[in-house]
């Protein structure tokens, strides 16, 4: 069985290291990008099965990423947004742009794994 | 006394309050004390301003009054102020915590602020240096090497923040300071270093709301002072875990 490809867009190295480790352990093929520029470059070449992205990222925010995937790439792949606590307005905007789910910081890797699996099972 | 002198007195008092806050209060208490003082200052000046208004003078809007306080025109319009009582209290009480108490500052504050001040939670207790890494190790599925990596990244991020904060404070670039604080926040939450996280939240609030360089400098200093203790606690907790 082929592993599902997951793009993790997170500029916080600390969080990214932990999530990267746990998602790989969870059976996913994880590609990590630390900024929006790398994310865009990745998406120009290939499309993952799911994207997990922070809202606040340098060069290309999570919002711009959603808009780019939905409008320019015309892809409906699941996108899970990582948001800081108290950023409810951004979360609402993310949903309006087409995000499928969100998870608040501090992120529980176990919770994220459940959410990722749930989104992938919907396809 | 002239308005200018009153303002000097208030500035002086504010400076002493900051020192007092740094020594005696937690960061959260200091933050609320600052808010309280600002209410006090605003209300006192508005009171003085209104009391000196001529009965038949056309009334100004709140915004115009605030603006007038900030301008020299106000100085020219109301050169002498009757603040003997205020001066006497300030002179009498060298402990500025008592000044607020004796001036019954609560009456000049919003109910919400009074509740915040009364319901002060002692953040010093949160600024302890006990760190439990077992929960993070659980998240790491018992991988000590990953835990070590996270600690190294955490220390690097905190040091980076301290350096960036110094630069942004010098240039008074609050937007960048806010971003630097945001960058380090998730890591602090993840490592459950509540004291440092509390400071970062206050710094972000300060960057967005009052943008007071002195207060932000104080908060960053608290962070710099607290960080070595947290680092030591992290090292100890890691050694404890490796030995267990």
Query: For residue range B26-53, what is the model confidence (pLDDT) as tens digits?
Result: 666 776 777 777 777 766 666 665 555 5
CA distance A92 to A11: 21
- Count: domains in chain B: 2
Determine the pLDDT at residue B61: 55
Determine the pLDDT at residue B22: 63
The shortest CB-CB distance from B187 to any of A15, A56, A109 is to A15
Determine the pLDDT at residue B46: 65
- Residue B237, pLDDT > 60, answer yes
- B218 and B171 within one domain: yes
Poorest-pLDDT segment among A90-104, B75-89, B206-220: B75-89
- B133 and B103 within one domain: no
- Residue B227, pLDDT > 90, answer yes
Q: Which of B215, B19, B204, B223 is nearest to B127 (CA)?
A: B223
Q: Confirm or reject contact between A118 and chain B (CB < 8 A).
A: no
Query: What element of type H or E holds A88?
Result: helix A88-97
Closest-CA residue of chain B to A107: B190
Omega within 30 of 0 (cis) for the link into A106: yes
> What value does the mean pLDDT take over residues A89-108?
92
- B238 and B130 within one domain: yes
- B167 and B139 within one domain: yes
Q: Confirm or reject contact between A18 and chain B (CB < 8 A).
A: yes
- B106 and B57 within one domain: yes
Q: Which of A40, A7, A54 is nearest to B187 (CA)?
A: A54
Cα of A58 to nearest chain B Cα, Å: 10
Phi, psi angle pair for B232, to nearest 5°: -65, -45
| pLDDT tens profile A36-71 | 889 999 999 999 999 999 998 878 889 999 999 999
Residue with tokens 């009054």: B65
Determine the pLDDT at residue B121: 42
Domain that holds residue B181: 125-243
Residue A46: both structure tokens together: 């290939």
Confidence band (pLDDT; 50, 70, 90) for B5?
A: low
- Residue B80, pLDDT > 50, answer no
- Residue A29, pLDDT > 70, answer yes
CB contact under 8 A, B139 and A109: yes
CA distance A105 to B212: 28
Confidence band (pLDDT; 50, 70, 90) for B56?
A: low
- B136 and B199 within one domain: yes
- B172 and B106 within one domain: no
CB contact under 8 A, A18 and B187: no
Determine the pLDDT at residue B49: 58
B191 CB neighbours in chain A (<8 A) are 14
CA distance B180 to B165: 7
- B42 and B132 within one domain: no
What's A5-122's CATH class?
alpha beta
pLDDT higher for B22 or B216? B216
The shortest CB-CB distance from A12 to any of B140, B141, B187 is to B187
ipTM reported for the complex surpasses 0.85 = no
- B113 and B38 within one domain: yes
Phi-psi group of B174: left, alpha or beta (phi > 0 → left; psi -120 to 50 → alpha; rest → beta)? alpha
- B106 and B8 within one domain: yes
Determine the pLDDT at residue B11: 66
Determine the pLDDT at residue A33: 94
The shortest CB-CB distance from A18 to any of B139, B157, B185 is to B139
- Residue B205, pLDDT > 80, answer yes
Domain spans of chain A, in order of start: 5-122
B146 CB neighbours in chain A (<8 A) are 17-18, 21
Determine the pLDDT at residue B218: 93
The shortest CB-CB distance from A14 to any of B141, B143, B186 is to B186
Q: Which of B182, B131, B3 is nearest to A87 (CA)?
A: B182
- Residue B120, pLDDT > 50, answer no
The mean of the pLDDT values for chain B is 72
CB contact under 8 A, A14 and B143: no
- B130 and B115 within one domain: no
- B201 and B111 within one domain: no
Last residue of a domain, one of B119, B143, B174: B119
pLDDT higher for A77 or B93? A77
Determine the pLDDT at residue B177: 95
- Residue B166, pLDDT > 60, answer yes
Last residue of a domain, one of B119, B143, B159: B119
pLDDT higher for A98 or B70? A98
How many cross-chain Cβ pairs, A to B, lie less than 8 Å apart? 49
B185 CB neighbours in chain A (<8 A) are 84, 105
CA distance B162 to B221: 9
């Amino acid at each position: 069985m082929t592993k599902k490809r997951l793009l993790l867009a997170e500029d916080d190295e600390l969080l990214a290291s932990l999530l990267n480790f746990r998602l790989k352990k969870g059976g996913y093929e994880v590609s990590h990008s630390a900024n929006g520029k790398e994310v865009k470059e990745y998406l120009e070449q290939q499309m993952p099965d799911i994207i997990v992205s922070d809202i606040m990222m340098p060069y290309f925010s999570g919002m711009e990423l959603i808009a780019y995937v939905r409008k320019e790439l015309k892809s409906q792949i699941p996108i899970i947004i990582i948001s800081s606590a108290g950023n409810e307005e951004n979360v609402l905007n993310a949903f309006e742009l087409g995000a499928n789910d969100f998870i608040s910081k501090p992120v529980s890797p176990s919770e994220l794994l459940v959410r990722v699996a749930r989104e992938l099972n919907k396809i | 006394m002239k308005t200018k002198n009153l303002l000097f007195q208030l500035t002086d008092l504010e400076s002493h309050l900051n020192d007092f806050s740094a020594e005696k209060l937690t960061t959260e208490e200091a933050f609320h004390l600052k808010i309280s003082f600002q209410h006090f200052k605003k209300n006192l000046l508005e009171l003085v301003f209104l009391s000196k208004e001529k009965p038949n003078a056309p009334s100004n809007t709140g915004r115009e009054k605030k603006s007038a306080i900030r301008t020299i025109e106000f100085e020219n319009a109301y050169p002498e102020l009757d603040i003997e009582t205020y001066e006497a209290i300030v002179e009498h009480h060298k402990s500025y915590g008592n000044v607020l108490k004796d001036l019954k500052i609560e009456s000049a504050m919003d109910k919400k602020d009074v509740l915040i001040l009364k319901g002060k939670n002692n953040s010093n207790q949160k600024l302890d240096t006990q760190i439990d890494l077992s929960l993070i190790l659980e998240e790491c599925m018992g991988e000590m090497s990953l835990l070590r990596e996270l600690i190294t990244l955490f220390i690097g991020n905190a040091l980076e923040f301290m350096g960036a904060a110094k630069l942004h404070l010098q240039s008074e670039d609050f937007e960048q300071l806010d971003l630097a604080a945001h960058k380090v926040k998730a890591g602090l939450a993840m490592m459950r270093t509540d004291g440092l996280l509390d400071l970062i939240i206050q710094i972000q609030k300060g960057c967005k709301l009052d943008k007071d360089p002195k207060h932000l400098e104080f908060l960053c200093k608290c962070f710099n002072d607290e960080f070595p203790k947290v680092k030591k606690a992290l090292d100890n907790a890691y050694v404890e875990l490796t030995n267990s």
